[in-house]
Amino acid sequence: MSVAKNPILAGFYPDPSICAVNDDFYLVNSSFAYFPGLPVMHSKDLAHWEQIGNVLDRPSQLPLQDAGVSRGLFAPTIRYNDGLFYVICTNVSFGGNFVVTAENPEGPWSEPHYIEGADGIDPSLFFDEDGKCYYIGTHPNVDGCRYDGDYYIYIQEFDYKEFKLVGKRVEAWNGALRGVHWPEGPHLYKIGDWYYIIHAEGGTGPEHAISVARSKDVFGPYEGCKRNPIFTHRHLGKIYPIQYVGHGDLVQAVNGDWYMVMLAVRPTKGFTTMGRETFLARVIFEDEWPVVNPGLGVLSDNLNIRLDEWKPELPETTWPNVSKKYEFKEMKSFGPEFMTLRAPLTDSVKFDEDGLLLKCGTDNLSGTGVPSYVCIRQDSKFFEARATLYTDNLMMGTRAGLCLFQSEGFHVRFEITENRGRVVLVNKGKEELIAEDALRESPATIIMKISGTSLSVYSLNDRGMQPFVRDLDISALSTEVAGGFVGCTVGIFATDGDDREEPVFARFKSFTYERFEPVIKD
């Protein structure tokens, strides 16, 4: 037996979709305006997960020019059929709904096949037993929206070889509750004699929920479960540690057990900085309706996974991974967990025997260009990020350092410029200089330490850790204040206020991300 610890993917991993191929599980998440797009995770037991690549890792696959960080890629679905993997997704900034395919989930994935006539968002594919394929998605009420989020779920046959919709479109379902807002994220399954639509409703916030409808015919009519919504935390109040539960996708293990992945958040004092994360629940069927986490009715911290006939030799679950140290002189490229904004930094990054050269670009973090920012997801409420960089060549106008980034209008930077260290908070698009002091060491080690919604900033020298800021309130870097659909990322950056003929490169030795246990005061 293996034990899955929730969340199974901590940090900014929203809108999970999962499929199984024999005893292998593959999972993808939304990535919005980050590049590369749509991380691909692999597991043998639903407890141990490893990122094996990204679906969209070429600029030709992922146009994101000038997209805000919460635009771009919404709600992917991953499916497998007859030797081929399919990911269907929406690029809300360019092109709309598309499909990509791959023989290997690690890639390479094809160029996008944009689907003519597939309006709306949150598409999914279902491969039926008779060889037919169906597209299910959402779009605004065709009779006119009576209120914000007045959407319908529609089904249409899909030619998966020609990547086009065929036949009639059926408005199959518009949510379980009367006047419901945002029926979205639908998935279609056939289990036994029934076709099931499992979908989210209520919006991806405090009212989020998972509902189900079923029919003996793929096009309906569909009847809703009398227990709808079949899973939610919205009735538990704001003090409950896990909230916003929704956007579920079913998967069956080879031993016949059913599970559901879904998103949820873990706020700190009412503020969510890590964004929506991926959680796991058990599912059984009673009276041919799904029951999620039977006998409990809420997400659990731990979930026993019965391996039965599939028994991979795996170590004890190691989540959380407490430390990640990247010595750049030992690297030739960034791993799949690293991201940039909107496009790759092809000509802005160089690895050599001394570390990483990162171009001081003219695009900054407050705009919608391609800043020289390389990051990973924040995956803990309590962590420390460190960067060691040389400061000798940082001339007037250039800045380099660490950034905790929620969006263009909400982030905090610890930057070095002209032998000075500066802590800058960007709140509602306005920059505020929080602290500034001399910082002449080269190389210099700078540190951000986050405890929930509190940030402390230090430099490290031969006298130890020198504080720049203690306990800065960063609750503004939360979904509740900043809005959007993303969680925070943390990484290194370099910018230049001047457009020079000869670009300046900041040199970084290392980057470290380390979780720590909070100190509980009596």
Catalytic pick among 184, 201, 277, 384? 184
**DSSP-H helix ranges across 293-406:** none
Gap between the Cα atoms of 252 and 365, Å rounded: 42
Tell how far CA 161 is from the center of its chain. Answer: 29
Burial class (CB in 10 A: 0-12, 13-18, 19+), 216: exposed
pLDDT score, position 317: 46
Q: How far apart are CA 380 and CA 372, in angstroms?
A: 24
Q: DSSP states of 432-459 as a string?
A: EEEEEEE---SSEEEEEEEETTEEEEEE
Residue 86 three-state SS: strand
DSSP run (H or E) holding 515: strand 505-515
Q: Closest by alpha carbon to 5, among 284, 252, 300? A: 300
Task: Determine the Cα–Cα distance for residues 41 and 36; give it in Å rounded to an integer.
Answer: 14
Residue 150: name the closest of 171, 169, 168, 165 by CA: 171
Q: From the candidates 15, 57, 201, 277, which is the catalytic residue?
A: 15
**What integer pLDDT is reported at residue 216 of this predicted model?**
98
CB atoms within 10 A of CB 419: 14
User: Could you give the CA distance from residue 407 to residue 32 in angstroms, rounded to a whole number?
Assistant: 11
* Residue 436 a catalytic site member: no
Triad 118, 120, 124: Cα angle to 5°: 70
Distances (CA, A) of 437 to 30, 430, 441, 464: 39, 21, 12, 16
pLDDT of the chain, 522 residues: tens digit per residue: 789 999 999 999 999 999 999 999 999 999 999 999 999 999 999 999 999 999 999 999 999 999 999 999 999 999 999 999 999 999 999 999 999 999 999 999 999 999 999 999 999 999 999 999 999 999 999 888 999 999 999 999 999 999 999 999 999 999 998 889 999 999 999 999 999 999 999 999 999 999 999 999 999 999 999 999 999 999 999 999 999 999 999 999 999 999 999 999 999 999 999 999 999 999 999 999 999 999 999 999 999 998 655 455 555 444 445 679 999 999 999 999 999 999 999 999 999 999 999 999 999 999 999 999 999 999 999 999 999 999 988 888 999 999 999 999 999 999 999 889 999 999 999 999 999 999 888 899 999 999 999 999 999 887 778 899 999 999 999 999 999 999 999 999 999 988 888 889 999 999 999 998 876 654
CA distance 259 to 199: 15
Question: For residue 69, which of 38, 36, 31, 98 has the smallest C-alpha distance?
Answer: 31
pLDDT for the residue 178 = 85
Cis amide linkage into residue 344, ω under 30° from 0: no
CA neighbor of 377 nearest in space, from 155, 17, 54: 54
Structure tokens at 46: 């639903």
Residues ≥6 apart with Cβ < 8 Å to 148: 181
Q: Give the span between the Cα atoms of 274 and 266, in whole angstroms.
A: 8
**pLDDT value at residue 395:** 85
C-beta of residue 217 within 8 angstroms of C-beta of residue 195: yes
Coil vs helix vs strand at 477 = helix
H or E element, residue 482 = helix 479-482
Q: Any catalytic annotation for residue 184?
A: yes
Check: CB of residue 351 under 8 Å from CB of residue 333.
Answer: yes
Q: Which domains does the chain have, with CATH numbers?
A: 24-236 (2.115.10.20), 323-515 (2.60.120.200)
DSSP-based three-state secondary structure for 479:
helix
Instruction: Tell me which residue of 159, 511, 496 sits closest to 330, measured CA to CA.
Output: 511
| 8 A C-beta contact, residue 455 and residue 448 | yes
Which pTM value belongs to this model? Answer: 0.95
Distance CA 496, CA 504 (A): 8
What pLDDT is recorded for position 142? 87
Q: What span, in angstroms and rounded, lies between the C-alpha atoms of 85 and 21?
A: 10
